Amino acid sequence: MKKYIGIIVISNSLIRVYWHVTMKQNQVELPLKKWQALGL
């Protein structure tokens, strides 16, 4: 179970970094569409 929790934490941190980068690039619509497609 600890391995799965670690994977979830890492994935969440990567999503946050990806979100901040896209916000700086003013590309909000594309990642939102991708997240909706992934069901996040």
Q: Please tell me which residue, 4 or 19, carries the higher pLDDT value.
A: 4
Higher pLDDT, 14 or 32: 14
The string of pLDDT tens digits covering residues 15-29 is 999 888 877 765 667
Three-point CA angle 8, 1, 31, nearest 5°: 15
pLDDT for residue 28: 64
pLDDT at 11: 95
pLDDT at 35: 79
State which amino acid sits at residue 32: L
How many whole angstroms separate alpha carbon 11 and alpha carbon 4?
11
What's the pLDDT score for residue 9? Answer: 94
Helix-strand-coil percent breakdown of the chain, rounded to 5?
A: 80, 0, 20
